[in-house]
Chains A and B, each alone.
Chain A
Amino acid sequence: MIQIENLHKRFGKNKVLTNLDLDIHGSGIFAVLGPNGSGKTTLIKCILGMVIPSSGDIEVQGKTIKKHWKYRQEINYLPQIANFPGNLRVKELIRMIKDLRQKQSKEEELIKLFGLEPFLDKKLSTLSGGTKQKVNIVLTFMFDSPLLILDEPTTGLDPGSLIKLKELILQEKNKGKTILITTHIMQFVEEMSDEIVYLLEGNIFFKGNVKQLMTRTNQTDFEHAIAAISTQTTDA
């Protein structure tokens, strides 16, 4: 699905990703974890082609993404902070994205699921953070694409919506899709993810499932295991 080789990214003098190799195959939920500033968002934006790598190669579905853009038709992306053009109405935004992607969509079902009907005619600048995130989720999940990239999907959601989101993600997984998630909520990772990719200082420090992580760190609790990774490196 996604194959990354020798990826480097520098912003000026700041090296964000160094010599990163990553292979993501098959369906499932892959959690991209790491402390703040470890390069999670940069990695995701590289896959999306929003950040241009300094060097290295990224392939999505067997094709290099360099100078290509059509591959994004196969990706649904949920950005970290839902920043939408404020003067658009929710309905207009959904219509616009549909028009731009020209793909079958199921937005009505999702609007109903998250109870967004009363907000459809409101301008995006007047919505609260959580409601914006719900709109964000509708925009991401309304298309049927084999690859989903979710950057901090839980931000601002109330518990009820969080459960709905989890169900939605599991549904997509059962359809055989590849789902990439970044988050800082460890409970969410433990519950949802099939595999963990742990980034540290611009490289992959650990890749495997929750069990492997616990045996490696000699911890019984997942949250402590994650915390232990970072201390292990400072000891080393």
Chain B
Amino acid sequence: MLKILKYSFYDLMRSRWSYVYFLFYLALGFVLLFLNNDLSKAVITLMNVIIVLVPLIGTIFGVMYFYNSKEFTELLLAQPLKRSSIFLGQYLGVAGSLTLSLILGLGIPFILYGLFRSDAIWDFSLLLVTGAFLTFIFVALSFNIALSNENKIKGFGYAVLLWLFLAVIYDGLFLMSLILFEEYPLDSFSLAAILLNPIDLSRTLILLKLDISALLGYTGAIFKQFFGTNKGLVVSILMLILWTILPIWRLVYKSKRKDF
């Protein structure tokens, strides 16, 4: 698996897109710091960008890479290699290089600005950790979609729909259900609804860590009560891990049964 990982990673590092992604984050980091002139504020703005953009790029990149490397995969399948190591290696190569671009692209401007001397370091680290989680989750989801769809256009369509659903539509449905059922106690419902969407989960985690949950009113208080405690933090991290492991498991399971 490590060899496949090495070759996929090497392949991606030579492709233009990794640099575009890296330079984009680099530019974003510098611009935000320049405009905000304050680390903590920049972290908040950055969160809004990361929460939406990282899943989108993970999804698109994952689908694109999977379809583009079809020949590479077929070449590998005839070699004495385990199927699971071929697909896991490619997956880790993509997710790893995207995460590296994210961490380096954002890390460099923040470090230059004096991150290590500031209090925002933990908030910033949490931001990067959730960013990494989101990358791994959405690349895994997109690999699943691409594996199950021979047709590229369909695969792309489903992948973008998935992102749209989790990033935008889910929130809309969530909000509507809150309004519809406002007469009922919805604490546990909304907690569960947030845990079930990795994007919402990451957003809530960061908001609470940044201590601006006061803005969320009553619901914020409930979340704070839940997420603010160690138990809440552990549960959310576990949920993110689960969100990562489940698609990876399906990827391995499906890839073992697929014909090439």
Chain A residues within CB distance 8 Å of chain B = 11, 45, 48-52, 69-73, 75, 77, 79, 83-88, 96-97, 99-101
Q: How many A-B residue pairs have CB under 8 A?
A: 61
Q: How distant is the Cα of A51 from the Cα of B78 in the complex, in angstroms?
A: 11
- Number of contacting residues on B, CB 8 A? 24
B82 touches A69 (CB 8 A): yes
Residues of B near any A CB (own CB < 8 A)? 3, 7, 11, 14-15, 69-72, 74-83, 256-260
Our pick among B256, B259, B260 for the contact of A11 (Cβ within 8 Å) is B259
**Closest Cβ–Cβ distance, residue A49 to chain B (whole Å):** 8
* Assembled-state Cα–Cα distance A96/B89 (Å): 15
- Separation of A171 and B260 alpha carbons in the complex (Å): 31
Once the chains are docked, how many angstroms separate the CA of A83 from the CA of B73?
A: 10
How near does chain B come to A44, taking the closest CB pair, in angstroms? 10
Tell whether, in the assembled complex, residue B260 and residue A51 are in contact, meaning their CB atoms are under 8 Å apart.
yes
In Å, the complex CA distance between A99 and B81 comes to 12
Contacts of A87 in B (CB 8 A): 11, 14-15
Q: Given A50-B74, A83-B75, A85-B75, 14 more contacts at CB 8 Å?
A: A45-B259, A48-B77, A50-B78, A50-B259, A71-B80, A72-B79, A72-B81, A83-B70, A84-B71, A85-B11, A85-B69, A85-B72, A100-B80, A100-B81
CB distance from B102 to the nearest CB of A (A): 23
Q: A83-B71, A85-B72, A87-B11 are in contact. Are A48 and B78 (CB under 8 A)?
A: yes
- Distance A153 CA – B257 CA, assembled complex (angstroms): 28
Minimal Cβ-Cβ distance residue in A for B70 = A83
Say whether B80 contacts A69, CB under 8 Å: yes
* CA of A84 to CA of B68, assembled, Å: 11
Once A83-B74, A84-B71, A85-B11 are accepted as A-B contacts, the answer to whether A51 and B259 lie under 8 Å apart by CB is: yes
B85: shortest Cβ distance to chain A, in Å? 9
Which of B71, B74, B259 has a CB less than 8 Å from the CB of A52?
A: B259
Q: B80 is contacted by which of A50, A73, A86, A88 (Cβ under 8 Å)?
A: A73
Q: Do residues A100 and B259 form an inter-chain contact, with CB atoms below 8 A? A: no
| CB atoms of B3 and A99 under 8 A apart | yes
User: Can you list 6 A-B contacts with CB-CB less than 8 angstroms, sorted by A residue number?
Assistant: A50-B77, A83-B74, A97-B75, A97-B79, A99-B3, A100-B81
Chain A residues with CB below 8 A from B258, complex form: 52
Contact of A100 among B71, B74, B76, B256 (CB under 8 A): B76
- Taken together as a complex, chains A and B put the C-alpha atoms of A50 and B74 apart, in Å, by 8
Give the docked Cα–Cα distance between A100 and B14 (Å).
20
Contact assessment for A96 and B74 in the assembled complex, using a CB-CB cutoff below 8 Å? no
Of the residues B14, B71, B75, B80, contact of A72 by C-beta under 8 Å: B80
B79-A45 in contact (CB<8A): no
Closest chain A residue to B4 by CB distance?
Answer: A100
Closest Cβ–Cβ distance, residue B8 to chain A (whole Å): 10
Question: A11 contacts which chain B residues (CB < 8 A)?
Answer: 259
Nearest Cβ distance between residue B13 and chain A, in whole angstroms? 12
Q: How far is the CB of B197 from chain A (nearest CB, A)?
A: 34
- Pair A100/B79 contact, Cβ less than 8 Å: yes
Contact A72 B11 (CB under 8 A): no
> Complex Cα distance A99/B259, Å?
25
Q: Are B74 and A69 in contact (CB under 8 A)?
A: no
* CA–CA, A46 and B260, complex, Å: 10
Taking a contact as CB atoms under 8 Å apart, the answer to whether A79 and B78 are in contact is yes
Complex-state Cα separation, A222 to B33, whole angstroms: 79
CB distance from A11 to the nearest CB of B (A): 7
Contacts of B83 in A (CB 8 A): 69
Distance (whole angstroms) from the CB of B45 to the closest CB of chain A:
36
- Nearest residue (CB) in A for B7 is A96
A79 touches B74 (CB 8 A): yes
Please indicate the chain B residues that have their CB under 8 angstroms from the CB of A50 in the complex. Answer: 74, 77-78, 259-260
